[in-house]
Amino acid sequence: LRTSPRLLCAATQQKNTGQNLEEDQSQSQNEQKVEPSSAEKLLAEEKAKLEEQLKEVTEKYKRALADAENVRQRSQKLVEEAKLYGIQSFCKDLLEVADILEKATESVPKEEIKDENPHLKSLYEGLVMTEIQIQKVFKKHGLLRLNPVGAKFDPYEHEALFHAPVEGQEPGTIAMVSKIGYKLHGRTLRPALVGVVKEA
Diameter over CA atoms, the chain: 172
Task: Annotate 110-144 with DSSP letters as a single string.
Answer: GGG-STTSHHHHHHHHHHHHHHHHHHHHHHHTTEE
Domain count, the chain: 2
The pTM assigned to this predicted structure is: 0.62
- Residue 70's identity, in one-letter code, is N
| C-alpha–C-alpha distance, residues 129 and 176, integer Å | 26
CA proximity to 150, closest of 141, 138, 158, 139: 158
**Neighbouring-strand partners of residue 193:** 159, 179
Which residues, 6+ apart, have CB-to-CB distance to 27 below 8 Å?
none
| The pLDDT of residue 39 | 84
The answer to whether 116 and 90 have CB atoms below 8 angstroms apart is: no
For residues 81 and 112, state if they share a domain. Answer: yes
Residue 155 lies in a domain: yes
Vertex 175: Cα angle to 173 and 180 (nearest 5): 100
User: How far is Cα 17 from Cα 13, in angstroms, rounded to an integer?
Assistant: 6
Q: What is the pLDDT of residue 81?
A: 85
Query: Which pLDDT value is given to residue 109?
Result: 87
Average pLDDT along the chain, 200 residues, taken 10 residues at a time: 51 54 55 64 91 94 95 92 85 91 89 86 92 93 90 92 88 91 92 90
Enclosing domain of residue 84: 42-141
**Is residue 132 domain-resident?**
yes
The CATH number assigned to the domain holding 177 equals: 2.30.22.10
